[in-house]
């Protein structure tokens, strides 16, 4: 058995949970989001109060392929399959113009999915650099709102927002989160490229194998899409898109806060579980179903007990 230390970006939490097929086991630790165990295989994901990646630990003979991008230690070796088709680019993108996209909401129980593509040329690059734009996960929400308000009118961009009813409908139809993510990225990237009359390479933050990405987007408009490792750090356009995506996501959450006169917590941890129970009691099942992602562990736990609330 080997111990693998992982760091899972907050927006990827839902994807990881969706892809984990191990049985979940109840735990008494308030700091643990979810715990899986089957025989000698154990997988734990831990909560934190900061806007940082979730810490996780996988114990097993080998690390599942979908968890490899989240390895903390880069020198840990895992057995390679001859059928591996992943070709993720790891380099700094320094040529302009280029287009990059990023997403928010895939790790949040409440609220929609938001995917944004942003276009930067040399002039816009100088503007963005003057604002000290960086990965949205490194900024607090106040800074995101300030930057988002500045960037939304200056930077050519395209956004796609999938609200919870539509998201839950797609899940019910058999779509998985990676499939949705790929299709949303392909849509905003190709739409913006057409609008800007740009025929160069399109970049997004790597999240799946090239083979899966191609399968997910097989029926969509073709384009030169490249998955970039550590996208927000290696592409200023992706970093800009990450700011705008989070800005629009926070704006959607604020609409819900105003509608229900509340303060919705983000993420998918224990605080969210507690809030969801209170929300259900106060506003009822129909309202809850309209603002959450029903394939999340939180939803399953909320309605899991015999004679529960469902």
Q: What is the mean pLDDT of residues 215-241?
A: 91
Domain count, the chain: 2
- Domain C-terminal end among 256, 271, 293: 256
Q: Check residue 3 and give its pLDDT.
A: 83
Is the per-residue pLDDT at 280 higher than 90? Answer: yes
User: 155-204 pLDDT, tens per residue?
Assistant: 999 999 999 999 999 988 888 888 999 999 999 999 999 999 999 999 99
Chain-wide mean pLDDT for the chain? 86
Contacts of 126 (CB under 8 A, 6+ apart): none
Q: Check residue 85 and give its pLDDT.
A: 33
- Out of 102-106, 137-141, 159-163, 229-233, pick the least confident: 137-141
What CATH number does residue 237 fall under? 3.30.420.10
Q: Are residues 133 and 241 in the same domain?
A: yes
Q: Are residues 14 and 114 in the same domain?
A: no
Is the per-residue pLDDT at 26 higher than 80? Answer: no
Q: Are residues 109 and 47 in the same domain?
A: no
**Residue 87 banded pLDDT, cuts 50, 70, 90:** low
Residue 49's alpha-carbon distances to 11, 13, 267, 298, in angstroms, are 15, 15, 10, 17
Q: Check residue 29 and give its pLDDT.
A: 63
Is the per-residue pLDDT at 235 higher than 60? Answer: yes
Is the per-residue pLDDT at 251 higher than 50? Answer: yes
> Is residue 278 in some structural domain?
no
**Residue 82 banded pLDDT, cuts 50, 70, 90:** very low
Q: Are residues 43 and 102 in the same domain?
A: no
Closest CA to 190 of 152, 157, 142, 222: 222
Residue 156 structure tokens: 């050519």
Q: Are residues 129 and 192 in the same domain?
A: yes
**Residue 90 banded pLDDT, cuts 50, 70, 90:** confident
Q: Are residues 127 and 198 in the same domain?
A: yes
Residue 121 CA to residue 294 CA, distance in Å, equals 40
Domain span at residue 58 reads 2-70
Q: Check residue 84 and give its pLDDT.
A: 33
Q: Check residue 226 and give its pLDDT.
A: 94
- The alpha carbons of the chain give a radius of gyration, in whole angstroms, of 19
> Is residue 150 in some structural domain?
yes
Q: Are residues 111 and 235 in the same domain?
A: yes
Q: Are residues 31 and 124 in the same domain?
A: no
> Is residue 151 in some structural domain?
yes
> Is residue 294 in some structural domain?
no
Residue 114 CA to residue 110 CA, distance in Å, equals 12
Choose from 56-70, 146-160, 169-183 the range with maximum mean pLDDT.
146-160
Q: Are 162 and 184 in contact, with CB atoms under 8 Å apart?
A: yes
- 3-state SS, 189-248, equals HHHHHHHCCCCCCEEEECCCCHHHHHHHCCCCCCCCEEEECCHHHHCHHHHHHHHHHHHH
Query: Would you give the distance in Å from CA 269 to the centre of its chain?
Result: 15
Q: Are 156 and 196 in contact, with CB atoms under 8 Å apart?
A: yes
Q: Are residues 25 and 137 in the same domain?
A: no
What global pTM score does this model have? Answer: 0.72
Q: Are 102 and 245 in contact, with CB atoms under 8 Å apart?
A: yes
- Region for residue 28 given its phi and psi (left: phi exceeds 0; alpha: psi -120 to 50; beta: otherwise): alpha
**Residue 83 banded pLDDT, cuts 50, 70, 90:** very low
């Amino acid at each position: 058995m080997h111990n693998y230390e992982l760091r899972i970006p907050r927006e990827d939490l839902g994807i990881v949970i969706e892809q984990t097929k191990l049985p979940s086991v109840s735990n008494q630790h308030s700091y643990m989001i979810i715990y899986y165990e089957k025989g000698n295989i154990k997988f734990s994901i831990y909560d934190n109060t900061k806007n940082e990646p979730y810490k996780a630990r996988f114990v097993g003979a080998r690390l599942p392929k979908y968890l490899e991008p989240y390895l903390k230690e880069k020198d840990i070796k895992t057995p390679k399959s001859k059928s591996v088709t992943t070709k993720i680019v790891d380099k700094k993108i320094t040529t302009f113009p280029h287009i990059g996209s990023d997403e928010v909401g895939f790790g949040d129980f409440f609220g929609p999915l938001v995917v944004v593509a942003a276009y930067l040329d040399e002039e816009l690059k100088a503007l963005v650099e003057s604002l000290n734009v960086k990965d949205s996960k490194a900024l607090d929400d106040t800074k995101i709102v300030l930057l988002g308000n500045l960037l939304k009118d200056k930077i050519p961009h395209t956004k796609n927002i999938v609200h919870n009813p539509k998201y839950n409908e797609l899940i019910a139809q058999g779509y998985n989160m990676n499939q949705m993510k790929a299709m949303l990225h392909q849509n905003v990237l190709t739409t913006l490229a057409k609008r800007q009359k740009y025929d160069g390479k399109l970049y997004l933050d790597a999240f799946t194998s090239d083979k899966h990405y191609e399968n997910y987007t097989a029926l969509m408009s073709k384009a030169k899409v490249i998955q970039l490792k550590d996208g927000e750090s290696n592409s200023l356009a992706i970093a800009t898109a990450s700011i705008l995506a989070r800005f629009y996501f926070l704006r959607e959450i604020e609409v819900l806060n105003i509608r229900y006169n509340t303060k919705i917590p983000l993420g998918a941890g224990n605080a969210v579980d507690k809030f969801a129970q209170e929300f259900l009691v106060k506003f009822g099942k129909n309202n809850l179903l309209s603002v959450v992602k029903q394939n999340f562990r939180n939803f399953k736990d909320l309605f899991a007990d015999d004679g529960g609330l469902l």
